[in-house]
Each structure stands twice: as structure tokens, then as C-alpha cells.
Amino acid sequence: MAQNSMSPGVLSPTPIPSDPAPSWVQQMDGITQSTSFRQLLILVALAATVAFMVGFFLWGQKPSLVPLYTNLGPKESAAVVEALKTAKQTYQISPSGALLVDPSQLPAIRMTLAAQGLPAGDGVGLEMLNKDQSLGTSQFVEQARYQHAIEIELARSIETIQGVSAARVHLATPKQSVFVREQQQPTASVVVELSPGQSLSAEQVRAIVHLVASSVAGMKTANVSVIDQRGELLSQNSDDANGMGLTDKQFAYRQRVERAYARQIEALLTPVVGADRVRAQVSANIDFSRQEGTSENYGPKTGVVLSEQTQDTTRALGDQGINGGVPGALSNQPPGGGTVTPQTAGGLQPPGNLTVPQYQQIVQTPISTQKNETRNYNVDKEIRHTQYASGAVDKLNVAVLLDEKTITDKDGKVTPEPMTEAETARIKELVAQAVGLNEQRGDKLTLASIPFVEQKIEKVSTPLWAQAWFMPLLKNLGLGVAMLLIFLMVVRPLLKMLTEKVQPAPAALTHDPALALPNGETLTDEEGVQVSLSRQPGALGHGDEDMDNLDGVPQLIGTASYADKLRQLKQSINHDPKAVASVIKQWTHSEN
């Protein structure tokens, strides 16, 4: 191997022995060091970055999916999935097993599934009547199917109530008997599965009971039981008294009455004492007993004549012997034969000194007269049946608490100012008139003036992160910031590297034999980029101040002495050892 010696004006490298590399390694090294390969890598990285940004943007714009149905069993979910596949609808299955679809397609998908009878539920309701029945079906089977269909329909209706996620109904319908004494009443049991965190109110439970009882002929509400998934009985009879001796309705009515009286008192005194400076409590004793009364009222003695009958009887002197004789068979026999003696109409013979006409006149003279009158009057009677309504107020106990007045002096000292007796009496009178106090029935009113403890109520505001618009805004901002960072840190450097042109070597390296490389080669660094020693800091021989005069580089290098050139190279080695190492590497390859 030839050795080059360093002479004035010429930089000769020291030969370094090395083994020749294999040809394929040299080819790969040439490919990787080529400019086209580096540009290809930059284009691939740029394309991957753009694809990632587009995918990230599409993911950020992707709408949130919503459940198609809730509480579907595995069998129902499988049927719905098959229907969605047939209809070519997009869906996802969450880790919990729920079917998720696009919110904009939710109504259309549900209508499509409803047309196919999905989800079918746990059983078949009255739609079974639309199916053809076999001729061999017995009456018992038909009745059992009909009862099961009624149970399914009732369960579906109950599931529509808010708070109920699932329901099952069991009906016990006894067989009808021709004997009245042997007839039994139907009963029903309802099992409801409540949604997490939900509970049924008393009104909702009563609604379920009445719904079931009204759907079955002859069923009473007392024969319907409702329980939840925890086994708690919800359908307690509302007519049974609770621990306070009142039913639920009566207790609620009592609370409404007490609240109404308290609001009246507070509304009356607020303009007088100020807002939030009066409190009122009312305890009402209410009579919930039911009373009925019947009364009969008669009018005056003379009423309307309903019927009237009058009878007059007159007796004469000759009537005494007309109907003589002893009653019986002997008196009914005809008299025996004899001479006929003329008699009067009364059957009596006139005396000897009276003629027959005179005697008849005497006999027909009335001796007694009787008159009978019967009148039936319609009695003026009024029967009144009264049923008194329950819920009358028997007694009121009223307590009113007022905030005591205070006086602030010039020094800022606060002193209480008690109410005068006149003010207290006036307020009591107002309250008594407002609620209708009655001392005769035992109503009581208590009024007190006590300083209130001032409480500062902090306004509860919804946190910023809990508001509905915060998360979408945060998502969009994060998407924008991420895309900006990717552009500044990845895309922009790649574009700069791709569009940067290769700088040619300065004329100083090609014309000055002292700094020219062997065989006319240019100086490149380890990454294959051409460099110039004149561009390095301190390469001009007089420090950084010579960087401003780049036009004098060829003249400086061409006219510099050996010592100046050596000093320039030392400074270049100190400031940019990488470029110097590249020069030595080029010389080594040229020697090989």
C-alpha cells in the first residue's frame, strides 16, 4: 500500500489497513447510502403519518353507539344478531353482551326488527291466536294456552312502567262450578325485577294490582300479590292501618292538610317579618270515621185527604117489629093457617082509636139518627239519609317561630330587640284567623321569637367536567392538539428533509490541492451529505469573525501558509470531528 506524506500545502492521510468487505455488503451499503433510498424512506414515513392522522381524525368524529335493547337473553340476542346480519346493519357487541348501534339508525333498526317479531320475549302472547290451531287440541290445552297468553300480555304491560325492567305474572283461575257455594275466586301473583337504583311507589304498586285484577274476570284486588326480585312484598293492602293507626292515604291526607296550614301561615307573616324569618308547624287531628244518619220529619196535622167515606143511618118506630123472631130454623118456617088480620106496614095492628093511615104516619116517624164520616189523610213525612264525609278536622295545634329582631348601633354592636306584647297579640290574631282556630274544640297556638342561626348556603354548581358539552369539546381539542404535534414533530421535518437540495462542495475543496480529496471526490459525512470545511465554525483560521466573509475563502485557502492551513484543520477537527472522520474514511476507501 502506498504511503502519502504530508507536504506544505498538501494534507496526506495516514494509511489504515483494513479487510475488504463482501460485495453484497458493499451493495447494501451503497443502496442505504444513496439519496433515492433516503427519499423513499421519508416518503413512506410521511405516508404512514398521514394515514395515522386521517385514522385518528375519523376515530374522533365517530359517533357514540347506543344500546339497541337492554336485558336481552342470549337466545333473543342471537336472533337479533342474525336479523341484523341479514339486513346488513352495522352493530357492535359490548363486553357486557349488549348490542350497540348507531344512534341515527336506531329507530329504523327497531322498526325492521319489530316487523320480524323481534325481540320475541320470554313467551308468545295473544299473537298465538293468529296461528292455525290443530284439530286435535283439547279444550284443556286451549284454555291453558289462553291463560298463558294473558300472563305474557300482562307482563309486557307491566314492563312498560318506569322502573320495571322485567316482570312475570302467574294466574290461578279455578274451574267454574254450577254451585254457588263451591265457587272460588281467582288469584294472581306478580314478580317484578326493578332496574338498578329504582323503586316503585305506592301508587305504581296499586296500579299494577288494579291492572291485573281488571284483566281477569271475578278477581279482586285483595287477591293480587306483587313482589320484587329481593322477595319483598310490595302489595300490602292500603286499607290496613299502619303503625300510626292510619292508612297510607289517610296519613298522606293528614300531611297535605298540615303543610297547607303551614304554608298559609308563612305566606301571611313573610311580608311582616321578612323572608326566611318565619317557620310554622301544624299538627292536625283529623277524624277519618265514616258516619251515616237517617231522620224522619212529619209535616203539620192537616194533610192532603187521601180518601173520604160518609154514612147516615135513621131508625123509625115501626122498624122495631119488622125483623122479629128468634134466629134459627123455627123462625124461618111459614106460619100456620088461620084468619087473616090486616096489619100495618110495621106488622103491628093499629089501636082501635087510630086509623091505618094515622098509625102508619106514627110508625114512620124517626126515633134515632146516626151519621158516620171516615177520612184518610196522606201523612206529610220526610225521611232523610245522610252519609257524612270523613276527614273533618277535630283539633289543630299550631306553633309559629319568628326570628328575633336585632338593632345595630353605631359601633356595629348587635343587640336583640324582643317583640312587644301588642305585636305578639296582633300576630297571634292573624294566625288564628288564617287557619280558623276554634278554642271550643281545643285548638292551641304557640308563638315564640328566637334568634335564628344564620346559615350560609353555598350554591351547588355542576363541575365543569360533568357538564354535557365538556367531554365532546375536550375530545375535539385533544384531537386538534395531537394532529398539530404530529405535523410539527413528524410531518414538517420529513417534508423539509424531502425538499432540501444537496449543496455542492465549495470551490475551495476542488480547486485547492491542499484540501482536495483524492481522485476528485467530494467530502461527505457519515450520512452521505456533502459538507464543506469552509462552513464549519473556525475553519477560516481567524475564529468566528471570519464567517461573515465567505467570498474570501478561496483566496484565503490558496494564499495561506502551511502553518495557517494546519491551524485551520486543527480548528475544524475541534469544532466538527464528524466531518474530519468522514474525510479520513473517504481517503481510506480510496487507498483500498
Where is pLDDT greater, at 33 or 586? Answer: 586
d(CA 378, CA 563): 160
Does the residue 536 lie in any domain? no
Q: In the predicted model, what is the mean pLDDT of residues 281-294?
A: 86
Q: Yes or no: say if 532 and 538 are a contact pair by the CB < 8 Å rule.
A: no
The residue whose grid cell reads 500500500 is: 1
pLDDT for 3:
42
How do beta strands 164-172 and 187-194 pair?
antiparallel
pLDDT tens-digit profile of 261-277? 999 999 999 998 888 89
445, pLDDT greater than 70: yes
pLDDT for 117:
73
In this prediction, residue 13 has a pLDDT band, given cuts at 50, 70 and 90, of very low
Does the residue 443 lie in any domain? yes
Out of 173-187, 347-361, 421-435, which region has the weakest mean confidence (pLDDT)? 347-361
Residues 73 and 216 in one domain: no
Residue at 103: amino acid letter: P
63, pLDDT greater than 70: no
pLDDT for 447:
92
The residue whose grid cell reads 321578612 is: 274
Residues 146 and 204 in one domain: yes
Residues 99 and 191 in one domain: no
Of 120, 112, 36, the C-alpha closest to 78 is: 120
pLDDT tens-digit profile of 580-592? 777 777 777 665 5
d(CA 370, CA 312): 6
Q: Is residue 361 exposed (0-12), middle (13-18) or buried (19+ Cβ within 10 Å)?
A: exposed
pLDDT for 261:
94
Does the residue 97 lie in any domain? yes
Residues 391 and 287 in one domain: yes
Out of 60-69, 72-81, 372-381, 387-396, which region has the weakest mean confidence (pLDDT)? 60-69
Which cell numbers hold the place of 48?
404512514
Out of 327-331, 396-400, 432-436, which region has the weakest mean confidence (pLDDT)? 327-331
Residues 281 and 425 in one domain: yes
In this prediction, residue 460 has a pLDDT band, given cuts at 50, 70 and 90, of low
pLDDT tens-digit profile of 201-226? 888 898 999 999 998 888 898 899 99
pLDDT tens-digit profile of 537-574? 444 344 443 333 334 334 444 555 677 777 777 777 77
Does the residue 270 lie in any domain? yes
Count: domains in the chain: 3
Sign of CA dihedral 40, 43, 45, 48: negative
The residue whose grid cell reads 348601633 is: 409
d(CA 148, CA 128): 10
431, pLDDT greater than 60: yes
Which cell numbers hold the place of 266?
308563612
Sign of CA dihedral 84, 85, 88, 90: positive
Q: pTM score > 0.75 for this model?
A: no
Q: Yes or no: say if 376 and 305 are a contact pair by the CB < 8 Å rule.
A: yes
The continuous run of DSSP H or E covering 480 comes out as helix 470-486
Does the residue 359 lie in any domain? no
Does the residue 220 lie in any domain? yes
Q: In the predicted model, what is the mean pLDDT of residues 445-456?
A: 84
pLDDT for 508:
42
Does the residue 456 lie in any domain? no
Q: Which residues of 81-93 are buried (b: 16+ CB within 10 A; e: fewer)?
A: eebbeeeebebee
Sign of CA dihedral 264, 270, 273, 278: positive
Which cell numbers hold the place of 100?
350497540
pLDDT for 383:
82
Residues 392 and 446 in one domain: yes
Out of 344-358, 367-381, 461-475, which region has the weakest mean confidence (pLDDT)? 344-358
> Can you give the residue range of the structural domain that contains 156?
138-174+185-238
Radius of gyration of the chain (CA): 62
Q: H helices of 88-168, where? A: 106-115, 139-159
The pLDDT > 90 percentage for the chain reads 13
Residues 198 and 261 in one domain: no
pLDDT for 52:
80
The pLDDT > 70 percentage for the chain reads 68
Provide CB contacts within 8 A for 538, sequence distance 6+: 544, 568, 571, 572, 574, 575
Does the residue 403 lie in any domain? yes
Q: In the predicted model, what is the mean pLDDT of residues 294-303?
A: 70
pLDDT for 324:
46
Residues 155 and 206 in one domain: yes
pLDDT for 336:
52
Q: Provide the 3-class DSSP secondary structure of residue 470.
A: helix
438, pLDDT greater than 70: yes
State phi, psi for 140 to the nearest 5 degrees.
-65, -45
CATH (domain of 234): 3.30.300.30
10, pLDDT greater than 70: no
Residues 110 and 148 in one domain: no
- CA 387 from chain center: how many Å? 43
Q: Which residues of 511-542 are buried (b: 16+ CB within 10 A; e: fewer)?
A: ebebbbbeeebbbbeeeeeebbbbebebbbbe
Residue at 224: amino acid letter: V
Residues 266 and 195 in one domain: no
Which cell numbers hold the place of 315?
131508625
pLDDT tens-digit profile of 366-419? 777 788 888 887 777 778 888 877 788 889 999 999 988 888 878 878 788 888
d(CA 497, CA 559): 37
61, pLDDT greater than 50: yes
CATH (domain of 421): 3.30.300
Average pLDDT of the chain is: 73
Q: In the predicted model, what is the mean pLDDT of residues 484-509?
A: 65
Q: Yes or no: say if 80 and 72 are a contact pair by the CB < 8 Å rule.
A: yes
Q: Yes or no: say if 122 and 74 are a contact pair by the CB < 8 Å rule.
A: no
Residues 163 and 201 in one domain: yes
pLDDT for 21:
55
Q: In the predicted model, what is the mean pLDDT of residues 450-474?
A: 74
Q: Yes or no: say if 152 and 127 are a contact pair by the CB < 8 Å rule.
A: no
Residues 390 and 281 in one domain: yes
